[in-house]
Amino acid sequence: APPAATCYQQAKRVLHTAVPERLHGRERETAAVRQFLREHVAARRPGSLYIAGAPGTGKTACVSRVLHDCQDELAGIRSAVLNCMALSSAHAVFPAVAEQLGLPTAGVGGRELTRRLERALTAKGPMLLLVLDELDQLGSRAQDVLYTIFEWPRLPGSRLVLIGLANALDLTERVLARLHTPPLPGPRLLRFAPYSRQELAAILHGRLQQLRGGPVLEPNALQFCARKVSAVSGDARKALDVCRRAVELVELDVRSQTLLQPPPGGE
């Protein structure tokens, strides 16, 4: 492939929504998730963290980055990450959690399954870490399911540390209000605000900085994209998509110009 084509391919690759080495504008949130894991997993204290924020504000990326960076600290525990969007129903979360955590619950369902899960989660053994992404799926379908799950870390003798991620900021107030009853604490809340124009520009610049050679998109174009997206949603995925589409258009334009050029030596 010609150098220009390779350059555009690389640009589109770095503008994909994979988790980067460094999360711009999420230093405080990353530190908070790390601290939560230290206080609960490392200290063998059950607990729950509820992470809320609009789509594209870095919730999943932040948790994925922390789990990756803390692999050594988490080596002695059983951990599972489950995306609730993939579930056929809200109640399907129970067998899915059992399977992810390697708990012996085969051949049972309904209330018996939840009872076995509770017994397993409160039995002696190493700490268990459960990350549930897209929690809104459960809350909108069956609120009792969400309540049951967040009750698990509060059970006497529980060894579960739970991290839940959702778009709805008020899910804990609407659905989980009963969990804030003393003496046990309710879920800790960590909010992710929409990205600002400056943060979106830094994210885009950081991605394209990885490319060798000159910039594929002008700094003014990145600023324009950051300004427009921050005004509407502050969604980093949307900003990455817009820039990737811009690179595709430039690539198509360059290709069409190349095809229209006369052959060397010809008129």
Amino acid 44: pLDDT? 92
Q: At what angle do helices 197-208 and 219-232 cross, to 10 degrees?
A: 140
Q: What is the pLDDT at residue 1?
A: 44
Please, which residues bridge with residue 243 across strands? none
Burial class (CB in 10 A: 0-12, 13-18, 19+), 40: buried
What span, in angstroms and rounded, lies between the C-alpha atoms of 154 and 160?
9
Sketch the domain layout of the chain as residue ranges.
3-22+195-259, 27-192
CATH number of 27-192: 3.40.50.300
Tell me how far apart the alpha carbons of residues 230 and 203 are, in angstroms, rounded to a whole number: 12
Rounded to the nearest integer, the mean pLDDT of the chain is 84
Residue 176 burial (10 A CB sphere; 0-12, 13-18, 19+): buried
User: pLDDT tens across 98-124, in order?
Assistant: 888 877 666 677 788 899 899 999 999
Q: Could you check whether 3-22+195-259 and 27-192 share the same CATH topology?
A: no
Q: What is the pLDDT of residue 247?
A: 81
Q: Rg of the chain over CA atoms, in angstroms? A: 23
pLDDT, residue 262, reads 56
Tokens 């503008």 map to which residue?
A: 15
Architecture of domain 3-22+195-259: Orthogonal Bundle (1.10)
Output the CA–CA distances (angstroms, integers) from residue 238 to 4, 34, 103, 134, in the order listed.
25, 27, 39, 18
Quick: pLDDT tens for 129-148.
Answer: 999 999 888 866 667 888 89
The 10s digit of each residue's pLDDT in 35-54 is: 999 999 989 999 999 999 99
Phi first, then psi: give them for residue 122, nearest 5 degrees. -110, 5
User: Which portions of the chain are predicted below pLDDT 70?
Assistant: 1-5, 14, 17-20, 104-107, 139-142, 171-183, 211-215, 257-267
Contact yes or no for 114/97 (Cβ under 8 A): no
Intra-chain end-to-end CA distance of the chain, in Å: 26
